[in-house]
């Protein structure tokens, strides 16, 4: 998704772009996502700025992309089970509001107006109307299509090396089928962004953070917003390697309800964890008791590309002239993709920077000892 | 005369029993799936799609495509091709998601 957005905005700025993917479109990081476009889970700071810009850009893109991409500005609802949780949400929302986020406190007795199937055993919540959702794989594919003839798509073609000139500047990439020349290379390899950086001889510590999603049978609109428990925000921000789960539940236009969210650092291990699935199901049915009688059709796992400080790497790499990075967005890559693409396109065309990208500098991590 | 799979393998099944589709009696054999029993009775559709209300029945027949969903004994979204028919099973044509009870 991030790569598609970079290609789209670069092409719109008049550049010609070759998109290389070793797999199909959205076959790596994007296809395993839920398509969250969230501001609600972000504390004030550089990532929230990027998310707010993205949220605006997604609204523009939604006009351009076909309805099949399922863009839904449905809003988020964060709920707390007790008064302590509610107080924490209130503090968090107050900070966000100063940064431009819209958040409305919903008292316990009004939660049902927003979500009729929600358990009555809650202390209240916050409604975030700017939260939205897309079907990420289709959004990526249609955005590449919308980019037009300036974007050439080469799928199933893996980058095996970087071509550099006499003074170390980027001249293109090598793939199994030959060389692709260009003055700039953008690393949008998601969870595998660290490997691509290594081909260029630089260290970018992108690591996988595994997550499972449960997919229910198609239902009527049982869940209307993206609904999640307050502890989700703490889990997202945590650096722990141990398994963390928090209930995140959302309906889709196609009918199935998606249930997350788990986080664990287990490398690229794709093996099914019954314990994770059990915890996800328990979390979801605690929020929505009606889901207890509903069947889960399938489950899928994916790897969030995370960097040690939980911020993405966006912008030129001062260590290799011509190399730019656009990866490491952890679980927020779909949401942050348009702003990332626009920032990258500005760098490529020498335009005015859109926002302060210093916190996203790709070389901000000390070299591994 | 058409030869049935049962004839081809020389099967000698137990006497048929009865299941119903929307209240109408259908004969089924021990070991048959609900979909097989309905097909044997010449019934090809037992669900309507969620969006267009179009008829659906068995497609893959091996539990992968989820096209043959039916409401079996009041429980929606059962894959008719995998559910073994049992005497007295009440199959009802499933309209859309079959979960109208959850609509608010």
CATH code at position B93: 3.10.20.440
Residue-level pLDDT at A127: 98
B77 touches chain A (CB under 8 A): yes
Question: In the predicted model, what is the mean pLDDT of chain B?
Answer: 93
Establish if B7 belongs to a structural domain. Answer: no
- B2 has pLDDT over 80: no
CB contact under 8 A, B102 and A217: no
- A235 has pLDDT over 80: no
Instruction: Compute how many other C-beta atoms are within 10 angstroms of the C-beta atom of residue A324.
Output: 22
Tens of pLDDT along A268-282?
999 999 999 999 999
ipTM for the predicted complex comes to: 0.75
Give the residue-averaged pLDDT of B71-81: 95
Question: In the predicted model, what is the mean pLDDT of chain A?
Answer: 94
- B 85-104 residues inside an 8 A Cβ radius of A: 97, 99-100, 102-104
Residue-level pLDDT at B1: 58
Establish if B1 belongs to a structural domain. Answer: no
Please count the CA atoms within 13 angstroms of the CA of A236 that sit on its side-chain side: 22
Give the residue-averaged pLDDT of B37-64: 95
Number of domains in chain B: 1
- B64 has pLDDT over 70: yes
CA distances from A236 to A230, A268, A360, B51, B104 (A): 11, 19, 18, 36, 32
- Please report the number of interchain residue pairs, chain A to chain B, with beta-carbon separation below 8 angstroms: 26
Residue-level pLDDT at B100: 87
Establish if B5 belongs to a structural domain. Answer: no
CB B65 within 8 A of CB B35: no
Establish if B38 belongs to a structural domain. Answer: yes
Cβ neighbours of residue B36 closer than 8 Å, sequence gap 6 or more:
B81, B85
Q: How confident is the model at residue A97 (pLDDT cuts 50, 70, 90)?
A: very high
Tens of pLDDT along A172-221?
999 999 999 999 999 999 999 999 999 999 999 999 999 999 999 999 99
Establish if B103 belongs to a structural domain. Answer: no
Residue-level pLDDT at A368: 61
Establish if B93 belongs to a structural domain. Answer: yes
Establish if B76 belongs to a structural domain. Answer: yes
Domains of chain A with bracketed CATH? 2-69+135-204+309-360 (3.50.50.60), 76-127+207-306 (3.30.9.10)
Which of A116, A220, A297 is nearest residue B99 as measured by Cβ atoms?
Answer: A220
Residue-level pLDDT at A351: 83
CB contact under 8 A, A221 and B103: yes
Q: List CB contacts (< 8 A) between A290 and chain B.
A: 102
- A 335-354 residues inside an 8 A Cβ radius of B: none
Tens of pLDDT along A286-302?
999 999 999 998 999 99
Distance separating alpha carbons of residues A60 and A58, to the nearest angstrom: 5
Domain that holds residue B83: 16-97
Give the residue-averaged pLDDT of A305-309: 95
């Amino acid at each position: 998704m991030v790569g598609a957005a970079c290609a789209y905005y670069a092409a719109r700025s008049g550049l010609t772009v070759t998109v290389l993917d070793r797999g199909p479109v959205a076959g790596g990081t994007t296809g395993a996502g839920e398509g969250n476009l969230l501001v609600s889970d972000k504390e004030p700071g550089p990532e929230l700025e990027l998310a707010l810009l993205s949220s605006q850009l997604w609204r523009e893109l939604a006009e351009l992309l076909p309805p099949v991409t399922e863009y839904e500005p449905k809003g988020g609802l964060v709920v707390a089970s007790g008064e302590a949780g509610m107080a924490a949400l209130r503090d968090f929302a107050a900070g966000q509001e100063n940064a431009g986020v819209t958040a409305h406190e919903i008292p316990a007795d009004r939660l049902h107006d927003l979500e009729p199937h929600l358990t009555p055993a809650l202390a209240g919540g916050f409604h975030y109307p700017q939260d939205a959702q897309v079907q990420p794989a289709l959004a990526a594919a249609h955005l590449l299509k919308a980019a037009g003839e300036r974007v050439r798509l080469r799928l199933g073609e893996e980058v095996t090396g970087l071509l550099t000139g006499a003074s170390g500047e980027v001249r293109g990439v090598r793939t199994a089928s030959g060389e692709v020349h260009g003055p700039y290379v953008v690393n949008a390899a998601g969870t595998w962004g660290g490997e691509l950086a290594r081909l260029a001889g630089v260290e970018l510590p992108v690591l996988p953070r595994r997550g499972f999603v449960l997919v229910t049978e198609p239902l009527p609109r049982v869940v209307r917003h993206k609904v999640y428990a307050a502890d989700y925000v703490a889990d997202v921000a945590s650096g722990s390697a141990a398994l963390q789960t928090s209930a995140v539940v959302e309906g889709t236009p196609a009918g199935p309800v998606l249930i997350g969210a788990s986080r664990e650092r287990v490398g690229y291990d794709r093996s099914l964890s019954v314990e994770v699935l059990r915890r996800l199901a328990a979390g979801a049915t605690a929020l929505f008791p009606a889901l207890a009688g509903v069947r889960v059709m399938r489950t899928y796992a994916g790897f969030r590309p995370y960097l040690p400080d939980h911020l993405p790497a966006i912008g030129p790499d001062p260590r290799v002239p011509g190399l730019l990075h656009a990866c490491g967005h952890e679980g927020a890559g779909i949401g942050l993709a348009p702003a990332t693409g626009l920032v990258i396109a500005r760098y490529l065309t020498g335009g005015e920077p859109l926002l302060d990208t210093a916190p996203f500098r790709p070389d901000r991590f000390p070299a591994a000892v | 005369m058409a030869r049935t799979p049962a004839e081809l393998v020389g099967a000698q099944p137990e006497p048929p029993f009865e299941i119903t589709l929307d209240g109408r009696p259908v004969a089924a054999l021990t070991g048959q799936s609900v979909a097989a029993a309905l097909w044997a009775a010449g019934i090809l559709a037992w669900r309507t799609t969620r969006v267009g209300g179009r008829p659906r029945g068995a497609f893959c027949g091996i539990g992968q495509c989820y096209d043959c969903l039916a409401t079996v004994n009041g429980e929606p979204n059962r894959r008719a091709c995998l559910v073994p028919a049992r005497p007295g099973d009440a199959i009802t044509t499933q309209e859309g998601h079959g979960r109208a009870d959850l609509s608010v």
